[in-house]
Chains A and B, each alone.
Chain A
Amino acid sequence: MAFTLPDVDRRTLVRNLGGLGGALALSRVFPAWARSGTAGLTPAPAPAPEVLSGEAIALTVAEGHFSTGGRSAHAVMINGTLPAPLIRLKEGQNVRLSVTNRLREDTSIHWHGLIVPFQMDGVPGISFPGIRPGETFTYEFPIRQSGTYWYHSHSGMQEAVGHYGPIVIDPAGTDPVEATREHVLILSDWSPVHPHVLLKRLKQMGGYFNMQKQTLAGLLAGKDQNAKERMEWGAMRMDPTDISDITGSTYSFLVNGHGTAENWTGLFTPGERVRLRIINAAAMTNFNLRLPGLPMTVVQCDGQHVQPVETDEFQIGIAETYDVVVQPGEAKPYALIAEAIDRSGLVRATLAPRMGLAAEVPPLRARPLLGMKDMGMDMSGMDMGQGGVIDLSQPANEGMAGHSMKMRDRSVAPQVKMGPGVATLSPMPADRTADRPTGLETVDHRVLTYADLKSLTPHADRRPPTRTLDIHLTANMERYMWSFDGVKLSDGADPIPFRHGERVRVNLINDTMMPHPIHLHGHFFELVTGAGDHNPLKHTVNVLPGGKVSFDLTADALGDWAFHCHMLMHMHTGMMRVVTVRYAGDAA
């Protein structure tokens, strides 16, 4: 419980510990909720002493050292732990969070998914100036919601080296989710290589971390694409194995700061309902998550209640949260598997009736290959006869059956600024919210899709949108450039303006072959999945490759907000915008 001590005392303690146990002992300091073997949290309202609660909370950001799986490196930690402490609040309370910066560089905390005044949102350069070294900044805001959220740095790349932690907000009334026990599971990716170096490698060589490319040996062994398909994709300079930018070739994947070998274990009593609050705090990894042999009932997504829906596996995009309820019946260990979507690695944690049990680690499944739909070629609406064969050897330049098959036909996206940063445009992007996500298309169990998520209660704002806004997600993997509408934020991109209170239909069109978890600060939006006023509410939406997503937004939060891809390297290479919300008459 070191983190509950005043900062100076804690550092003294750490120093003494260091003298006794050496660097290794130092490097693995966890808050109680994240420790292996935790009994978990008691659902509200009983207080859990090791959790930061109340109206005044102090957080200190400082240098640290972290190790997992036999590798170690510099880290940025909050109150001396990785992940950072759990902050547990109650809907309707006020909170003052004083954040002290003990780093040699600026820091910040963004409260991901919390509805706060924009000047408390924690994005340096947009919502506030940031926190200079040695300074303390006090965030103060009312808590207007409940659910599972998280917090992280919006400065530099601190988020990739440990600066993230969970937030749980208990509802003012009764929680519609019934559970006798809760565990918080925060997923992340960690490399001993500094994130600036990771980004540099990607700029130097886009495919640097992909160690699952197609090979001649694979072709001879009959794996992956056949020779003809390889030629067709080669003609377009597109790589069907380009699924994740940074992979298990450098990343360790973690649950609550624990790798597979460290086997994070959460306890349960057989037969009880256990609520798992799952947060993807990774810098660059979308995960497919499952508990083999244990169905999950999804009850919340992005902190918002959904009608309970049972599934066996779901994809959790970066920055999304899912709350699921499981009911392990037997007194045996159950594995929780978070597998990177490119199948370059996974992490196993265990739910167990007692300590000392480790669930089996399943082998990694075969690396998926991207297909035509991931290129933005939706064949479903085309009359192409059986098999849907397309001759891509006609350098994707000729119209097909009245449909454009060019991969860079600017007429499909006149608003996109064409240039070196835009390698492809999706000729026929499909709404993929009912599609199984990347890699899960053919698994032989139930897979959650966005279309399965329905808000528990109908939305308050049922006005139809009065305006449509298209935003293209654009990229060039070879040069490692990422942008919206072909323009990087650093190019001097204009903000995206909204009138206060207006309802806007926003279409996100993915012109790349990678899923992008797109996050809008300060708002929840209704994902248009066909469920009408029960469309799910989200703060982050994972737009599948070559596909599109529509959401309806009520722009009800005045101020300036960040809007970006939550792949950290995509944001840092320009896939970001400032969103402004002003009263209709106010704009200059």
Chain B
Amino acid sequence: MKAPVCLAALLLASGALPAWAQDHGGMDHGAMQQEDHSDHPPAGDAHAGHGQPAPDDGAPEGVAPPMPSDHASEAFYNPAEMARARAAMLKESGGMTFSRLMLDRLEYRMGRGADGYHWEGEGWIGGDIDRFAFKTEGEGEFGGPLESAEVQALYSRAIDPWFNLEAGVRHDIRPDPQRTYAVVGIEGLAPYWFEVGAQAFLSDKGDAHLRLEGSYDQRITQRLILQPAVEINLAAQDVPELGIGSGLSDIELGLRLRYEFAREFAPYVGVNWERKLGDTARFTRRDGERAATTSLVMGVRFWF
């Protein structure tokens, strides 16, 4: 069972998330001087002849009084009623629950073979820090069987301003044989506005995998957005029954141009290129399929 540990280490050490790491690097106080944020006098005096700069440096630090243990209103109103109102007020001041369901890709794929379909979506519900999340993706050919379909159920926790740590399970309904994996991952927003994610998987058969994803929204106009995206899959070992070879197993590049009629609704067109590598490519060719496929895609992205 060393593989997942290695993968997790790889994940954390990988160059995919330098910014996140760097950001935490900001906590080394040692090198920092106490900033002179004390008091600059009001800047400039161009507007009116107001007097001397603020006599701002004079106020002593002083000592705060102790925290009162009572609620003043209870002297006037029923404490039970106040407790009810206070609980509601606290909840409405940052403690509310929100959710989002997004089908990021629901697309028709036209390539050299039969036309296919592909979907990729995710959802979350919860507060600012702790959330339940799920993800799903899959694809198939029209007139053929469903080729792949996976669902993930995850606990997601915000660990810094931009990144979430996630852990949970993944179940693949297709391909056969079905597999269930434990998942550990991280996802978020890297510097320069790159959406990035990395997930490590360990199956109930003991095989370990890593998936790296990234995308970028290039706003051409306020509503027209070009999105390059990349996904890379790695495996720690051969899994012949799933057609996966060890090492770098496949890489996928996409370029999608969407038009946001509303933020929540955007049709798109694009191109998707997928290349299986190494033993994975060999397994694929063994099954009579091509290792590289290029498709024109059209679809829709929507969320609510």
Contacts and interface: CB of A to CB of B under 8 A. Distances in A.
A572 B93 CA distance: 4
Interface stretch (B70-78, B135-143, B249-257, B289-297): B70-78
Nearest to A573: B94
B161 A476 contact: yes
The CB with the most chain A CB atoms within 10 A, among B92, B98, B129, is that of B92
Contacts of A104: none
Contacts of B66: 497, 587-588
Given A204-B98, A215-B219, A467-B63, A428 B37 contact: yes
B73 A118 contact: yes
A381 B40 contact: yes
A428 B59 contact: no
Contact of A560 (B72, B90, B129, B303): B72
Contacts of A451: 42, 45, 47-48, 50
B91 to A, nearest CB: 6
Nearest to A132: B81
A26 B51 CA distance: 54
Nearest to A509: B37
A531 interface: yes
B82 A404 contact: no
Nearest to A424: B161
Contacts of B96: 199, 572
A499 B64 CA distance: 8
Given A499-B65, A550-B54, A435 B44 contact: yes
B191 A550 contact: no
Interface in A150-209: 156, 199-201, 203-205, 208
A319 B94 CA distance: 21
Contacts of B162: 237, 423, 478
Interface residues of A, number: 118
Contacts of B33: 399, 402, 404, 411
A128 B43 CA distance: 42
B50 A430 contact: no
B59 A412 contact: no
A571 B93 contact: yes
B55 interface: yes
A235 B85 CA distance: 44
Contact of B191 (A128, A236, A448, A498): A236
B25 A588 contact: no
Contact of A204 (B53, B191, B303): B303
A290 interface: no
Interface in A217-268: 217, 231, 234-237
A482 B91 CA distance: 14
A38 interface: no
B27 to A, nearest CB: 7
Interface string A462-475: 00111111000000
A403 B36 contact: yes
Contacts of B61: 467-468
A119 B77 CA distance: 9
A74 interface: no
B39 A431 contact: yes
B62 A468 contact: yes
B26 to A, nearest CB: 5
Q: Which 4 A-B pairs have the closest CB atoms?
A: A574-B94, A467-B62, A125-B89, A488-B94
Interface of A: 106, 118-119, 123-130, 156, 199-201, 203-205, 208, 211-217, 231, 234-237, 309, 378, 380-381, 395, 397, 399, 402-404, 406, 408-412, 418-423, 426-436, 446-449, 451-452, 454, 464-469, 476, 478-479, 481-483, 488-492, 494-495, 497-499, 502, 504-505, 509, 528-532, 548, 550, 558-560, 571-574, 576, 580, 582, 584, 586-588
Interface of B: 19, 22-23, 25-27, 29, 31-37, 39-45, 47-48, 50-56, 58-73, 75-78, 81-82, 84-96, 98, 100, 128-129, 158-162, 189, 191-193, 218-222, 263, 303
17 contacts: A124-B88, A126-B89, A127-B73, A128-B82, A204-B303, A215-B221, A215-B222, A403-B35, A431-B39, A466-B59, A488-B93, A504-B62, A530-B52, A560-B72, A572-B94, A574-B93, A576-B94
Given A200-B98, A550-B54, 19 more contacts: A106-B85, A119-B73, A125-B86, A204-B100, A213-B219, A237-B193, A402-B33, A404-B35, A429-B37, A430-B43, A431-B54, A497-B66, A499-B65, A532-B55, A560-B72, A574-B93, A576-B93, A587-B69, A588-B69
